[in-house]
Chains A and B, each alone.
Chain A
Amino acid sequence: MTRTIMPFGPQHPVLPEPIHLDLELEDEIVVGARPSIGYVHRGLEKLCETRDYTEFTFVAERVCGICSFIHGMTYCQGIEELLGVAIPPRAQYLRVVWSELSRLHSHLLWLGLLADAFGFEALFMQSWRLRELVLDCIELTTGGRVIFSSACPGGVRRDVTPDQAAFIRGKLTELEQRLGEIVPAFLNDPAVRQRLAGVGVITRQQAETLGAVGPVARASGVAMDMRTSLRYAAYDELPVEPIIANDGDCLARCRVRIGELTQSIGLIRTALDRLPAGELAVKVTGNPTGDIFARAEQPRGEVIYHLKGNGTKFLQRFRVRTPTFANLPALLAMLPGSALADVPVLVLTIDPCISCTER
C-alpha cells in the first residue's frame, strides 16, 4: 500500500495557533506523525537580560494569553524563593483565586474549541458564552480580561474587595447552573461520544513513560497534580485532590477537565470564604543569586521555570518548560492508528498552547 505524507497545519481551521504535523497516511489511517514547531517564536527568554527581574513579571505573563496569571505567579514564586521572601497569607489566597479563575476560563475555552473540532457549533458558542461569566470576574478584580498583571514578586498588586467577592460568588453560581446544561452534551450525547470515546487512547504506562502532564496524564489514571504534590500558594490549606479518569481516551480527557471546572468553582468559593485579612505584598529587596526551578499546575499541566540569577537586577537565564511541550510525545503516540478525520480532535485533546511552547 502506498504511503502519503499530508501536511496538517500550521494554518488549519481547527488550530487556533500554528503547529505543523507531517502525517504519514495509509489510506485514511495515520501511521506516523512528525511535528515541527517554531512558527511563533518570540525570543521572550532572551529579554531577561535587558529587563530587571521585577519588570520581567510582565514579560513572563505574556508567555501565554490563557494561563497568563499562572505564568506570572510561577515566575514570582521562583524569584521569591531565590530571594528568601515569604509572601503574606492574603496574597497566597488571592493567587489561588486568580489561578482557579484562570483554570476555569481556560477549560471553558478548551471545551468550546473541542466542540468546534467535532463540528458542534452551538455547543462551541455556548461554552464560550459561559466563559464570559468568568472573564467578567477577572476583569472586575484585575482590570484585564486575559492578562491579569496582578502578581508581583512579594505578593499581589490588587485586592479583592467584599463586593467583588460577592460578585464572583454570584457569577460562579450562575456558571454552575449553566454548566449543568452543557455537560450532558459533552458526556452523554451519542454523536459526541462517537467522536470521543475510545479515540486516541493513552495507557497509564504510556502516559508515565512519555512524561505526559496535566489532564492528559490524569485521564490515563496518573494522579499527578502539582497543586497537591507541591502545595504551593494556599493549596496546602485548601481541599484539593487530583481529578482522574482511567480510560485514557478523548472522552476521559474531557471528563477530567469538566471535573476540574467543578473543583475550581469549589476552590474559589472556599478561598474567598477563608480569605485572611492583612497585607497584599511584602517589599522585595536585593538581587537574585543562584538558580532555581519553580513549578506550578497550569490548566494544561505542570509548568517548570528555571531561573538563574547572577547577583545583578537582570537574570542570567530564564527558561520555561511548558505543559504542551511535555504533552507532544503523548500526542505523537496517540496519532498512529487513528483516522485522518480524528486528527483535529486528537490534537485538541492535549489542549495545545503553541505560543507557550515556542515563547
Chain B
Amino acid sequence: MALFTFAKTALRNLLQGPCTERYPFVRRTMPAGVRGALQFEQATCIYCGICAKKCPTGALKVDRATKTWSINRLRCISCNYCVAACSKKCLQLDTAHMAPAQTRDREVHTAPAPPPAS
C-alpha cells in the first residue's frame, strides 16, 4: 500500500505542458505507407475494372465503354486491396488528410475524348 502513487507523474505532466500536437497550427508528418485517401492517375489507367472487382465494399466502379472510373469516397475503407491488384499501378494511397466530403456524390473521372483524326 502506498500513498500518492500518481503524484510524481501528475506533477511532471503539469510542468511539461500538453503532450498533444497543436493541430491545425502544427501538422503531423505521416509516416510513409500510411493508408490514407485513394489517388487515381487517369493517364495510365486502361479501365480493366480489376480494382472494382476486388473492392470489398463496392466503392469503385469502372465503365470500360465510356472510360469512366468512379469512387464513392464514403464507402472506401483504404484497405489497399485495389492498389495491390492494379497492374498499371495507377492507384495509390495518399498519406495526407482529405478534405471532408460535403455531398454523397461519386467522384467521377472520365478519360478525355481522343483528338479527331486529321
Contacts and interface: CB of A to CB of B under 8 A. Distances in A.
B34 interface: yes
Contacts of B13: 122, 126
Interface stretch (B44-52, B77-85, B97-105, B110-118): B77-85
Interface extent on B, as a size class?
20 to 34
A149 B1 contact: no
Nearest to B80: A149
B6 A189 contact: yes
B6 A123 contact: yes
In terms of DSSP, what is the predominant structure of the interface of chain B?
Answer: loop
Interface string A175-188: 00000011011001
A318 to B, nearest CB: 14
A58 B81 contact: yes
Interface string A121-137: 01100100100000000
A184 B4 CA distance: 10
A157 B80 contact: yes
A168 to B, nearest CB: 13
In terms of DSSP, what is the predominant structure of the interface of chain A?
Answer: helix
Residue among B19, B33, B84 facing the most chain A CB atoms (10 A cut-off) = B33
Contacts of A149: 35, 79-80
Interface in B59-78: 77-78
B5 A188 contact: yes
Interface of A: 51, 55-56, 58-59, 62, 120, 122-123, 126, 129, 139-140, 143-144, 147, 149, 157-158, 181-182, 184-185, 188-190, 193
30 contacts: A56-B56, A58-B56, A58-B79, A58-B81, A59-B56, A62-B77, A122-B6, A122-B10, A122-B13, A126-B9, A129-B19, A139-B31, A139-B34, A143-B35, A143-B93, A144-B35, A144-B78, A147-B77, A149-B79, A149-B80, A157-B80, A157-B84, A181-B9, A182-B9, A185-B5, A185-B6, A189-B3, A189-B5, A189-B6, A190-B3
